[in-house]
Structure 1
Amino acid sequence: MANNSIFDKETQLLEESAQVLEDDNLDRDALRAEYETLFKGYRRLVKQTQRLIKMSDRQQLELLELNELKNKFVGMAAHDLRSPCSIINGYSELMKSSASMDDAERDEFIGIINEVSGNMIKMLGDLLDVSAIESGRLVLEPAKGDLGDLIEQRVTFLSMLSEKKDISLTCQKADGLPQISFDSDRMCQVIDNLITNAIKFSESGTAILVTADADDEGIRFQVADQGPGIPPEDLDKMFGTFQKLSNRPTGGEKSSGLGLAIVKKIITAHKGTINVESEVGKGSAFIVTIPGA
């Protein structure tokens, strides 16, 4: 609106100068002054027009990028949800049509349906989080708390997943960690994503170590695994939205490819940082720092 107002003002000044020039009684000096006014107004109008064109080009580019993101979002949702929907439909049809199914087989089918539907819910949650983040609707509710205790709690909770794959999951937390301000629910997402990622890509018999230490007035925590490591060509894509990397989960687990993008956005919203150190064949370490103020 402000740009349009300036544009209209310049146009009005040019019209007024043009009307003055129509006066046949102007002397040479007055005529020269009006021509100079007209020329300066014209130059200002040209510059303003150029600024408006550049602004329009930027807005058009942003709209194209948003449209491309929307298409990727819809395409990925359709692709990743088709398979679990087919599985649920197939097993439920078998249960419906088989009158002779015994209790053990029925329980097995129900377990599969429950697991697949849980994966779908997680995937939908990731998609909704990405949508909120990309549209600028990520709102934090920070409060003072013990991030070290939260990390320890999540390690204990997720040890059930690591035990299923015979992976050792341990936590080493330094004493006397400072209380810092953070959004507990969102930080749970960060910790859970990093640990479950480590479990997904680690082989049985390996170990995952989670550490938490003081960092100036904040907290530095790390999730280190003994997995396959990350190829150099994938390191630059680690935290991108809708990125599929070359490594695959070792136990057939599903991955939306959105977890690390969400992690990065949440940490950035906390004014923190995340880095990854990795070597192929020697595992990976994700290092997060959250400031104290």
Structure 2
Amino acid sequence: MSQLPPDAEPPLANALQNQLAVFQALIEYSSDVIIISDENGIERYVSPSVTRVLGYQPEELLGCSQYLRHHPDDRDRVRDIFFGLVRSRSTTPISFTWRFLHKDGSWRWIEATASNQLDNPLVRGIILNFRDVSERKALEARIERDAIRFRAIMEAIQDQIQIFDPTGKLLFANKIPDFLGHPENLNQKQELLWWIHADDRQRVVEEFTRLVSGEVPEVLTQYRIDNPSGPARYVETFASNQIENEAIGGVLANVRDITERKEFEEALRLAKEKAEADALEIERSSLEIRLKNRELKKLNEEKNELLQIVSHDLKNPLYNLQHEARALIDDPTDTAERAQRVLQCADKMLGLINNFLSIHAIESGRLFLHPEPVDLQTQLNRLLQTYSEPLKQKRVTVQADWPAGPVRVLADTGATVQVLDNLLSNAIKYSPPGGTVFITLDASGETAQIRVQDEGEGVPLNEVERLFRKFTRLSTKPTAGESSNGLGLAIAKKLVQLQQGDIWYEHHPATDRARPGATFVVELPLYNSDLA
């Protein structure tokens, strides 16, 4: 490879340095942010412009996922888009928008273009170029609201709203009487305002001419419209000169049919009131019927689910109780082990009944919570002690990670313990023998998050939306035949929401570990002693 003469190297080096300086300046002062993430969503590079756009220093975003900084309503969608791009290995850029948490606590709309450069040896990552489009989003939303409002107003207005050019040509109409046909029909004849009754037309044409010429700014007039299929109709029109108004550009006319008002004004008022009342009553009755049918359908579905659970989850333990009782009668000496099995059956039945009572109390509004400072470490340690035997039997270990000091939340102790007990019980049920359950506790801002993660099969994505519904039975089963009645997570979600918290499921792609596992996160408000 040939080399440049010595006297040519400094200019080349200077040129490269100048180009590098220009590139760095563009990156630093650009209104766009450039981020490079690895295939797991961990940020490897964040351009300095992120400080102007989102308020963070690049170091605050490096080496971590931004999942929790995404708006809860956008998290799963953005995650699916990102990992879909990772899996596709397509280099075709894709664009999408979501809401990102600004450092000042506000949500900002972000418009991003993502390019998969994982196979590019110079990048080996996902390049994300984004900018703050909050103002544009707000403007678009406002324009859309205005357009919807305009259409709704035009559809709701009983009057006819019409716009004519100075020659009398119809430019716009929200509605036209049926006997006049399509709006375009009004422009087919050369005669000005030809549809007006002959006895009134000359007067109205003169009023229109005076209005267009600017002699008068507005006109209020009444006239008849020819009706080929029946008697002439009386209308009242208020028109104003809006020719110089760029938004209208013509004569704006508000046309109202006053035929019935002229002939039977009082009778029409009474009939209209009665018709409106009847329509309202019919609509109300129809709505009540639809609501009752929906409620009955829901109750019938819940009844069927309840019968199925009773026939299975209560009948089997009762059969076992009968079996153990007969065995004790036949052999009274073998009591300890059989008594233990009797106790296990009774515990299953009692747990199921307690779940029924809990969900009923919550839905009927008869559950009253008493918020108080709750030490999460203490409650988690107590729960782990109660599960020492099941953990030992399945050879499942627990790896806990939480702060040394206490983390207190403002919550109801019993409800919080019930939620944590459900998550820990599920993690043990769905963990493979010899697996590990991970429990982490983190406090930041005004909330505390408890994350419980197992190494089981996880929940299929097409079943995630049903996780927190009553009587949900998933395809994933407990690994040691443990029972599950499909009420635990439904109760947990309702209890968390009653305490101004949140609970959700995090899906892990199968590439993350040998098993995808299941992770549930509970978020509760921190206890603030200064406000107590």
Tell me what 1:45 maps to.
277
| Alignment deviations for residues 213-238 of structure 1 (CA, whole Å, 9 cap, x no partner) | 11321211100111122222221221
**Superposition deviation, residue 180 in structure 1:** 2.7
Tell me what 1:290 maps to.
524
Tell me what 2:321 maps to.
88
Structure 1: where are the runs of 5+ without partners?
1-28
CA contact (8 A) 2:374 2:412 kept: no
User: Which structure has more helix as a fraction of its residues?
Assistant: 1
Q: Which of the residues 289, 298, 301 maps onto 1:68?
A: 301
CA contact (8 A) 1:178 1:218 kept: no
> Do structure 1's residue 165 and structure 2's residue 398 form an aligned pair?
no
**Superposition deviation, residue 178 in structure 1:** 5.1
Q: Distance in 2 between matches of 1:175 and 1:214?
A: 12
Q: Distance in 2 between matches of 1:276 and 1:286?
A: 5
**Superposition deviation, residue 252 in structure 1:** 2.0
Tell me what 1:150 maps to.
379
**Larger RCO (CA under 8 A, 6+ residues apart):** 1
Q: Distance in 1 between matches of 2:404 and 2:327?
A: 55
| Alignment deviations for residues 48-97 of structure 1 (CA, whole Å, 9 cap, x no partner) | 2233223312431223323432342243223310111011011101221x
Return the letter of the residue paired with 1:79: H
TM-score (norm 2): 0.46
Query: In 2 relative to 1, CA 53–86 (structure 1 residues): closer, same or farther, beyond 3 Å?
Result: same
Larger Rg: 2
Which has the larger displacement, 188-197 or 203-212?
203-212
Give SS of 1:219's match: strand
**Superposition deviation, residue 34 in structure 1:** 2.6
**Superposition deviation, residue 259 in structure 1:** 1.0
**Superposition deviation, residue 31 in structure 1:** 7.6
Identical pairs, percent: 30
TM-score (norm 1): 0.81
Tell me what 2:220 maps to.
none
User: Which structure has more strand as a fraction of its residues?
Assistant: 2
**Superposition deviation, residue 116 in structure 1:** 1.1
Return the letter of the residue paired with 2:516: K
Structure 2: where are the runs of 5+ without partners?
1-260, 528-532
CA contact (8 A) 1:177 1:219 kept: no
Tell me what 2:150 maps to.
none
Tell me what 1:3 maps to.
none
> Do structure 1's residue 218 and structure 2's residue 450 form an aligned pair?
no
**Superposition deviation, residue 30 in structure 1:** 10
Query: In 2 relative to 1, CA 142–173 (structure 1 residues): closer, same or farther, beyond 3 Å?
Result: same
Equivalent residue pairs, number: 261
Q: Distance in 1 between matches of 2:306 and 2:337?
A: 33
**Superposition deviation, residue 102 in structure 1:** 6.6
Give SS of 2:504's match: strand
Give SS of 2:450's match: strand
Instruction: Give the superposed CA RMSD.
Output: 2.3
Which has the larger displacement, 260-269 or 53-62?
53-62
Q: Distance in 1 between matches of 2:378 and 2:352?
A: 27
**Equivalent residues in 2 for 1:1-293 (5 A)?**
32-60=264-292, 61-96=294-329, 98=330, 101=331, 103=333, 105-176=334-405, 179-279=408-508, 281-292=515-526
